[in-house]
Amino acid sequence: QVRGTVILPHGAPKAVSVAVFAEGAEAEEAKAAGADIVGGKELIEEIASGNNKLKVDKCFSTPGMAPHLGKIAQYLRKRRLMPDKKLGTLTSDIAGQLKELRQGRIEFKMESKSILHAGVGKVSYKEEALRENIGAFMNAVLQAKPAGLKKTSKYAGYVLSVHICSTHMLGLSSSQPHSSAGELRVLN
């Protein structure tokens, strides 16, 4: 399973709305850091009772609130919102994680048939900005290579092809997917 996070040098293409499960000083810290929704046990109860549909893109939680998330775990998992230590969404440093998210941190996770999808830019980005974002993403994917993958070359057989496209458009394919991502050429 390939999964990880990367901070794109020129920001993520989409603004992200965030909910934080925290209480006390940690809740105040989350509000100050710009979280859209902040709450503790009362927010969990609202979600469990169906009074709050929690329309956000990401959920963060402090370790102290993690045991209370069991009531809404199925709801959060179904929407891929469950806070996870591996992805940095279950943390004591909520402000730091929110800052990274606002700077352009994206997550990637291998789907079925060994496919990774990620938004790394917009059509309005300059060519150099797109190239640097793609390079940062590809380097993160290469660093997330599973240790058990056996091949003669360091990355041979790991990344077989790379396709770059905008939404609802034809894609561009790279002929050298395992080369340094910074070398990808953006075609006109």
Residues 115 and 143 in one domain: yes
Rounded to the nearest 5 degrees, what angle is found at the Cα of 2, between the Cα atoms of 122 and 69? 90
Q: Within a domain: residue 85?
A: yes
Report pLDDT digits (tens) over 33-70.
Answer: 999 999 999 999 999 998 888 899 999 999 999 999 99
Neighbours of 141 (CB within 10 A): 21
pLDDT tens across 99-129, in order? 999 899 998 888 877 788 888 998 899 999 9
Of 67, 84, 102, which residue sits at a domain end? 102
Domain containing 173 equals 3-10+105-183
Residues 101, 16: contact at Cβ < 8 Å?
Answer: yes
Domain end marker among 102, 120, 135:
102
Claim to verify: residue 76 and residue 97 sit in the same structural domain? yes
Least Cα distance to 99 among 11, 180, 173, 188 occurs for 11
> With bands split at pLDDT 50, 70 and 90, how would you rate the model's confidence at 174?
low
Helices marked H in the chain — which ranges?
A: 25-32, 41-49, 73-78, 94-103, 127-143
Q: What contacts 24+ positions apart, CB below 8 Å, involve 67-71?
A: 68/21, 68/40, 68/41, 68/44, 69/21, 69/44, 71/44, 71/45
CB 176 within 8 A of CB 123: no
Residues 24 and 70 in one domain: yes
Which CATH number do you get for residue 34? 3.40.50.790
Does residue 83 lie in a domain region?
yes
Is the pLDDT at 178 greater than 50? The verdict is: no
Residue ending a domain, among 102, 135, 161, is 102
Is residue 188 in a domain? no
**Both tokens of residue 145?**
């290579």
Number of domains in the chain: 2
Indicate the pTM of the whole model: 0.74
